[in-house]
Chains A and B, each alone.
Chain A
């Protein structure tokens, strides 16, 4: 075995271990000087990114990978089910891990200048890296209890980061709300995992999926897991923590918090498609649980879009406005996922078109996860840049910034067009898939989605007019463009957005379609893992 094969073999635990070790080494490296610390964190995350690429290539080429911790040691006699912690990596996992590493690297690059005037930066970088570790853990693990542990780490680190501005009461208030709501959600998730363990004597997702019977207890578990993870991902009407948390934390933190939120959504997808896949992913009207779950998810998705857009339209705080649009964007993903479940349930031999429409909806929903992370993320970075330059976030106090912050204005315009689903940006490609596929399932869903997308454009036209256009405000006369590292971070996101917008097929063919197929093909996932354990 050569060194490359060795790295490929051990890449799943290394993706978690590298940021984890970096997190604890960062305070020590900080003793040398700030520049060394910043470079150290960025280089270690780039190494993690390299490991993600190696693992991604391996999984997309050779199929599902499993990594058993302590796999070399013999099992007790007669035991042939996976009892150890396992990392299970399929194309869906790779899709999410790639999103996370992009967000993490850009977050660190942006933080260099954005956070330089703050105290306690060694702790800041440590907690950011621990949050990144927990997101990776949630995405890579195939063990439910392990997932819960990483979820808890994510909640605690997120809370610490939301409360970073300890001198601001809004930050402390948002952090308190977040930890209370997250802890309650996590407790329900733990209870659900306990119920599954009591029934099936296993914690491995594939093993449970193989054994699940959709009993009375399984229904309780389904409700608890889906609700807990939907709250973590900011689905209405359990989204109230999100606008406060996103708007009260530093922009660089909000950027990575988007990744943590999407990891919650990923957990929800694993529950519905992997653990309950064999029970819910059935065609035909007779099998109602899949249809019911689809209708519920779609309804809550539409509600999220509606609440997010309407609340954003009335806000006058830049960051809070973007936070509410993030709720709406989450709604688009849930709308697509719910539409897939409905399409699958309504698909009968005489009407296979519904299944085709549902599959396109799923692809659109998954593609929108990537696009949302980048588009909303870019807008938060721009909001951070405006705050950095002016110390203001209220639309009523800002104006005419396009004169002094030309590059930031261009990046905002790119983010605005992308979030509003305007062609040729990436947001349009994923929303087009969602519109056209949901139209075949129910035209009213598609119409609501399109109208709300137009309203999103109206929201950001208001922001653009209020902050960047208009005459020069005397108090903002001396405002200067933000430092280069912040511009570089925003430029990087903007370039990815434009690239995906111009060549959406490259991402759909190589990442989104394999991820959608991985979610749809529950049997293959179970047989690979349970059979290979």
Chain B
């Protein structure tokens, strides 16, 4: 319950933070909201030499309308995302998913960037970000680079962010007018999802013209159900067609087995939840 000793730095600029990361290398741990990091430190599963707190850096928070995309500051809290009208209008899938993320207290502290950088495959932000083709804005000593979502999630708790880099923002391409739904399956409310499905679809006259489906906790990273997306395109949004498309939701996945279910059960769940998520997204 008491973390091991660490040094602490609260830089006031991204440059200062990057310099600290460069100086301390793998001894440094970045803290944003801290809602995933602090449990790990309290249980002494990790003992960094120094914790670099991004909380005092101005300008890393908020949602900006940048034309075709929304630019979300990495330090924007989940609660801010939940209540943000721009996100609700142009990236409704995030609004739907963040509503289910952890609990109200955690959403007050936890950040959009932090959750994505933590890259827990059971985290609720990865699948929506992947489904929306988010771009990750990563700052390093040599400048800022942008990584597409498809390259961002590397493995369990591992992303494209380098040891001396910081995630400073996430660009969400606008999906204005798309229906969205996040179908999360848990045994009790305070659990990480056993499986969750993030679906957003564009429908015209009852026909799905485009679909994006992301899967939570179906592998070591968030995954896209591309086979489902393809099967849905151009199809009427009926129970029957969606059921048929959703049957391939678990294709190519490697879900874990744990206390809450084995991998076969998760594969099955993915098909049911995908059907439900897509139908809900198409319906409303």
Question: Is this pair of chains taken from one and the same complex?
Answer: no
Q: Which residues of B come within 8 Å of A, CB atoms?
A: none
